[in-house]
Amino acid sequence: MAFLQLEGLGKRYGDIDAVVATHLSVEKGEFVSLLGPSGCGKTTTLQMIAGFVEVSSGRILLDGRDITHAKPASRGLGVVFQSYALFPHMTVKDNVAFGLRMRKVANAELLQRVDRVLKLVRLDRHADRYPRELSGGQRQRVALARALVIEPPVLLLDEPLSNLDANLREEMQFEIRRIQREVGITTLMVTHDQSEALSISDRVVVMQAGRITQIDAPYTLYEHPRTEFISGFVGKANLLAGRRDSAGMVQACSPAEGELTLSLRPEKIDLCEVGSGRLQGTLTSRFFLGSQWLYGVSTRLGELCVVRRNDGSAPLVEGTAVGLDWDPALLRVLSADEVPA
């Protein structure tokens, strides 16, 4: 039996189904991300687990206990909000201590636990500051500390990094993962950022229009996206028409002959001499991404996107004729989207 289990969880707002009969099992200590575009129902799902949104159908089980209709206070889950939701009139220490005070923890133990968790998030030197005196990343840590100090069975993170700038976001991703590993807490994170979901989760749950469309480990999800939508939403993808040859191998072909939709990741395409390779094309655009070059190549199969490592050699210029090659085993067959995006 899984630690946190959603059984046919659903939410209706009037005529609109925000979340449709969702099944999900999260194991103890696991870090699971709910990934999807805005309005896909991922935040509603999290809010139902936290108890802020009434459940329309289905059940939520926590460690075998039915908490579907329990009050948020009695669930005892740790929640980190997108806006951090710190109490602006309390110091960092009082913010963190709030949950312990509600639990009537004795003062000596309270101070010790607050101190320990502030050390964990590396904010012990800012204990007496007010939230407005902290930077975005520090506020994020306070929110995390406040949720962790009550030692909740599950940590719920609602878009925890979306208010941070790019550099800090990356730093906090690793920080959240480090803390999660150190505490060993079961964590469910909602995000619309695929790189965030891929980099720190044990498993990623892709949601679309209120439904779960794929659940996999980050690597599997990236390498084997099930549908057209997922292949485009998780990482970049070239969509090609394809068919099976006489040996049963999948091959890319022109859209007219194709009966399958294939996905080919841009970094899996090799650039080679003109005349060699599987396909000929002309470079039409290039973008410099620092560690990589992103090339657009026009071919008879359509416009393809190719990523090359920046190995220090001179980049190709627009208008160059190139050959393209790839390992056909890396072509992925996609199934049609079953939900309207």
Task: Give the interface with other proteins as residue ranges (CB under 8 A).
Answer: 50-52, 71-73, 75-79, 81-83, 85-91, 98-99, 102-103, 130, 132, 143, 146, 150
Q: What single DSSP character describes residue 124? A: G
Of 83 and 285, which CB lies nearer to other proteins in the complex structure? 83
Q: Least distance from C-beta 202 to other proteins, angstroms?
A: 24
Burial track 110-121 (b if 16+ CB lie within 10 A, e otherwise): beebbeebbebb
SS (H, E, C) 233-296: HCCCCEEEEEEECCCCCEEEECCCCCCEEEEECHHHCEEECCCCCCEEEEEEEEEECCCEEEEE
Of 53 and 339, which CB lies nearer to other proteins in the complex structure? 53
C-alpha to C-alpha distance for 48 and 46, rounded to whole angstroms: 5
C-alpha to C-alpha distance for 234 and 239, rounded to whole angstroms: 13
Of 73 and 166, which CB lies nearer to other proteins in the complex structure? 73
Q: Least distance from C-beta 160 to other proteins, angstroms?
A: 12
φ, ψ for residue 5, nearest 5 deg: -130, 125
C-alpha to C-alpha distance for 198 and 327, rounded to whole angstroms: 24
φ, ψ for residue 111, nearest 5 deg: -60, -40
**What residues contact residue 336 under an 8 Å CB cut-off, 6+ apart?**
227, 228, 261
C-alpha to C-alpha distance for 175 and 238, rounded to whole angstroms: 33
Q: Least distance from C-beta 39 to other proteins, angstroms?
A: 19
Q: Least distance from C-beta 70 to other proteins, angstroms?
A: 12
Of 140 and 214, which CB lies nearer to other proteins in the complex structure? 140
Q: Least distance from C-beta 190 to other proteins, angstroms?
A: 13
C-alpha to C-alpha distance for 5 and 201, rounded to whole angstroms: 18
Q: Least distance from C-beta 312 to other proteins, angstroms?
A: 46
Length of the chain: 341
Q: Least distance from C-beta 177 to other proteins, angstroms?
A: 22
Which stretches does DSSP call E strand in 64-209? 65-66, 78-80, 154-158, 186-191, 203-208
Of 102 and 249, which CB lies nearer to other proteins in the complex structure? 102
Dihedral sign for Cα 245, 247, 250, 252, please: negative
Of 105 and 271, which CB lies nearer to other proteins in the complex structure? 105
Q: Least distance from C-beta 271 to other proteins, angstroms?
A: 49
Of 75 and 203, which CB lies nearer to other proteins in the complex structure? 75
Of 88 and 319, which CB lies nearer to other proteins in the complex structure? 88
Q: What single DSSP character describes residue 222? A: H
